[in-house]
Amino acid sequence: EVQLVESGGGLVQPGGSLRLSCGASGFTFSSFWMTWVRQAPGRGLELVSIINQDGSVNYYVDPVKGRFTVSRDNAKNSLYLQMNSLRGEDTAVYYCGREDWGPDYWGQGTLVTVSS
Interaction between residue 7 and another protein (CB under 8 A): no
Which residues make beta-bridge pairs with 95? 37
Our CB check for another protein shows the closer of 23 and 109 to be 109
The residue within the footprint of another protein, chosen from 31, 75, 101, 116 (CB under 8 A), is 101
Interaction between residue 47 and another protein (CB under 8 A): yes
Interaction between residue 50 and another protein (CB under 8 A): yes
- Give me the least distance between CB of 8 and another protein, in Å please: 17
Q: Are the C-beta atoms of residues 39 and 106 closer than 8 Å to each other?
A: no
Our CB check for another protein shows the closer of 15 and 65 to be 65
CA distance 36 to 93: 10
Measured CA to CA in angstroms, residue 34 lies from 60, 87, 93 at distances of: 12, 24, 17
The residue within the footprint of another protein, chosen from 45, 73, 88, 115 (CB under 8 A), is 45
CA distance 89 to 17: 14
CA distance 31 to 18: 27
* Interaction site with another protein (CB under 8 A): 37, 44-47, 50, 59, 61-62, 95, 100-109
